[in-house]
Amino acid sequence: MSTKHFLGNESTAAWAFLAPALILLLVFLITPFIMSLVLSFTSQRLVSPLPTKIIGLRNYIRLFGDGGFWQALRNNFLFAVVVVPLQSALALFLAILVNKRIPQIKIFRSLYFMPVVIPMVVVCVIWYFLLMYPEGLLNTLIQGATFKHIGPLDWLGNRSLALPTIILISIWQGVGFQMIIYLAGLQEISAELYEAARIDGANLWQQFRYITMPGLRNTHIFVLVTTTILAFKLFTQVEVLTQGGPLGATNTLVRYIYVAGYRELKVGYASAASVVFVLIVLMISIIQRRIFVEEHEVE
């Protein structure tokens, strides 16, 4: 068999394996983005007797002049800035804990991962009843523990508490997913490295710093990028628990787009917001990956 024929077969096989993923990307990502980009320059409405017109940059000008958009963007950034490092760090800590070879460790892994498999809507409904004001279970426990010196607290109706409450619920529900990813990464690191380090007198912190962290570099990139994307896609928790309130304190970009497109029926305007949203998330993901790659090159 000639080299050319062999390379041709390899190339065909490679494209065959790539085809399903490429088709999914084309159908569910690239095509919708192009359609949104085209619609963002029009006056398209979901239901309207008026014909659709090309209006140029009017949707974008209106979008950037809307205070509600900037408030939703600030909420998203605040949510991501808090959730991404905290959830990733907690996931790594839990992964290290459940990576130990002790009896019944699979039970602990299942307990930590269980919230992930529960639908977010169900999680939010459960937490809604726990956080109800003033007679929710959490308020009852706090009042009982402090002899009514603290509480009841309006967890979802207070502007200062609403977003932190959603942050805590999101971390509790999602940390198990990142934990499993980190656990897989930890199990790929050779145990011989740790054994050699112990023989050389390295303590636990030194083993973590010089073996665990470098060994998880690609895992860190994946976890941080996916967690950031999920943080910016925040919608269900807000819609079920606060509907964007109080006074927009928990509104997010995805909910802003949803309200504009499906409740106000302004498809063209919602498409402009969607294009901006995708570009923001894409830019942040590229920056994150580049930072990690540059740090690895420096090392």
Q: How does residue 297 score in pLDDT terms, banded at 50, 70 and 90? A: low
In a domain? residue 9: no
In a domain? residue 28: no
Q: Give yes or no for residue 62 having a pLDDT over 80.
A: yes
In a domain? residue 83: yes
The structural domain count of the chain equals: 1
In a domain? residue 262: yes
**Per-residue confidence (pLDDT) for residue 4, from 0 to 100:** 52
Q: Give yes or no for residue 294 having a pLDDT over 80.
A: no
In a domain? residue 177: yes
In a domain? residue 239: yes
Q: How many whole angstroms separate alpha carbon 58 and alpha carbon 45? A: 14
In a domain? residue 10: no
In a domain? residue 5: no
Average pLDDT of the residues in 119-132: 91
| Length reported for the chain | 299
**Per-residue confidence (pLDDT) for residue 6, from 0 to 100:** 47
CATH code of residue 244: 1.10.3720.10
Average pLDDT of the residues in 89-112: 84
Full domain range(s) for residue 139: 67-298
pLDDT, one tens digit per residue, over 262-286 is: 999 999 999 999 999 999 988 988 8
Q: How does residue 293 score in pLDDT terms, banded at 50, 70 and 90? A: low
Q: With helix as H, strand as E and coil as C, how does the chain read?
A: CCHHHHHHHHHHHHHHHHHHHHHHHHHHHHHHHHHHHHHCCECCCCCCCCCCCECCCHHHHHHHCCHHHHHHHHHHHHHHHHHHHHHHHHHHHHHHHHCCCCCCHHHHHHHHHHHHHCCHHHHHHHHHHHCCCCCCHHHHHHHHHCCCCCCCCCCCCCHHHHHHHHHHHHHHHHHHHHHHHHHHHHHHCCHHHHHHHHHCCCCHHHHHHHHHHHHCHHHHHHHHHHHHHHHHCCCHHHHHHCCCCCCCCCCCHHHHHHHHHHHCCCHHHHHHHHHHHHHHHHHHHHHHHHHHHHHHHHC
Angle between helices 31-39 and 267-298 (to 10 degrees): 130
pLDDT, one tens digit per residue, over 150-209 is: 878 899 999 999 999 999 999 999 999 999 999 999 988 888 888 898 888 888 899 988
Phi, psi of 170 (to 5 degrees): -65, -40
